[in-house]
Amino acid sequence: MHGKFAEMHFAQLLLHIWKTEMSGRLEITKDAIEKSAAFHKGQLVVAKDVLNEAAFCDTLRKKKALDLTSLKKCTQHAHDHKISLLKTLTEQAFISPPQLWDYLEEHQKADLFPVFDWDLGEYFFDTEKSVHEHKILRKISAPGFIFEGIRQMSNAKLLDSLSPDESKAVQRLLPDFPEPIDLTPPEKYVLSLIDKPRSLKQIYTLSELGKRDTQKIFLGMFSLGLVGFPQEKKPGYASSEIAKSEIYRVLELFNEKCSFIFKYISKEIGPVALNILEKCLEDTKPVLSPIFEKARLAPDGKIETNTILKGSISLSGEEFRLQFLNGLNEILVAEVLAVKRTLGNEHESTLINYLKKIGEWN
């Protein structure tokens, strides 16, 4: 995955990595500046293979966690005994493990926070440089990091360009995320101002935080899908209802696509195709709505849909529509990626072209 920050802001890139649970190494460049970060299943991580010990030593010194004399002793001890600096710091009782692990997180965040202000630069995500789980020292919640990064932005021009039109009305949304998002008190306060659809201009006027800080918080919530624009009503539908005939039409079209994917991959690798797609569905469930919790794959590659409909009983029509369509899209994307991993890029492109011919449902 390669691109430019002029086309995708850093926060959007992090959100994509998190939602798709990607693992690998993110390389970032701007002029002579080069940075890298490791990710495991969508989460930003501090890993032994990626940690720059020299830069981490500078962080400890700047935070006055260690004086220069102690730091030299630790470095020399690590060199003499051929062990890592981290092990030396804990074994020699210079810093307690909980404090040290907090410093690791602060160091990683501080290194990447400036990137949120970049409107130029390039990124490259290398999935082949995945991090072994036993080498991960600390995991950092991606949503929380995105919020913190946007909160510290100082590029006013970039902030204004990323923020929606102030005249547009916004409302709360219910994103279906793989983990809950913890909001700080100021973020909860701004969210409380959106108790009904209001324009951004009205929210900025109401907020006691001032426009710039409110703008940053709102941009964080907007990036994560906690707030957004009211959905336009489609002709022929009430806002709280979805016709049963429409549900069955979409499910029929969805399963036609699933069946085609199964036949396509089976032709190449035989019966093991079903196992690959079954694992794909199970691996995708953590990011799906609970209505897909009991969904199963039939022998013909189709998804058994009765469990999906039963799981939607407690939802309103609009909630079901959103979770239903998003879930179907997530499953299809996951199956296409499974084909790519198994058969290669050319097969992925061919498959996508065939699936487009079957039809769209939204």
pLDDT tens figures, 18-74: 888 888 899 999 988 988 889 988 889 988 877 887 788 888 888 787 778 887 888
pLDDT, position 60: 82
Say how far apart CA 88 and CA 92 lie, in whole Å.
6
Burial of 224 (0-12, 13-18, 19+ CB in 10 A): buried
High-pLDDT (> 70) share of the chain, %: 88
Per domain, the residue ranges of the chain are: 2-147, 163-228, 244-358
pLDDT at residue 233 is higher than 50: no
pLDDT tens figures, 249-288: 788 888 899 999 999 999 888 888 899 998 888 888 877 7
pLDDT at residue 219 is higher than 70: yes
pLDDT, position 142: 86
pLDDT, position 74: 80
How far apart are the two ends of the chain, measured CA to CA in Å?
Answer: 26
| pTM for this predicted structure | 0.59
For residues 32 and 118, the answer to whether their CB atoms sit within 8 Å is no
High-pLDDT (> 90) share of the chain, %: 10
pLDDT, position 176: 58
pLDDT, position 347: 85
pLDDT band at residue 240 under the 50/70/90 scheme: very low
Say how far apart CA 178 and CA 184 lie, in whole Å.
19
Helix (H, G, I), strand (E, B) or coil at 108: helix
- Say which residues have a Cβ less than 8 Å from residue 358's Cβ, sequence separation at least 6: 253, 256, 257, 260
Tokens of 313: 């009983």
- Strand bridging mode 198-199 / 43-47: unpaired
- Say which residues have a Cβ less than 8 Å from residue 21's Cβ, sequence separation at least 6: 41, 42, 178, 287
Tokens of 332: 């299809």
pLDDT, position 113: 93
**Beta bridge partners of residue 27, listed in sequence order:** 36, 124
pLDDT band at residue 177 under the 50/70/90 scheme: low
pLDDT band at residue 231 under the 50/70/90 scheme: low
Whole-number Cα distances in Å, 73 to 69, 77, 91, 95, 340: 6, 6, 13, 13, 51
Please give the mean pLDDT across all residues of the chain. Answer: 82
pLDDT band at residue 238 under the 50/70/90 scheme: very low
pLDDT at residue 137 is higher than 90: no
pLDDT, position 51: 80
Range of lowest pLDDT (125-139, 209-223, 263-277): 125-139
Helix (H, G, I), strand (E, B) or coil at 44: strand
Tokens of 110: 């501080």
pLDDT at residue 157 is higher than 60: yes
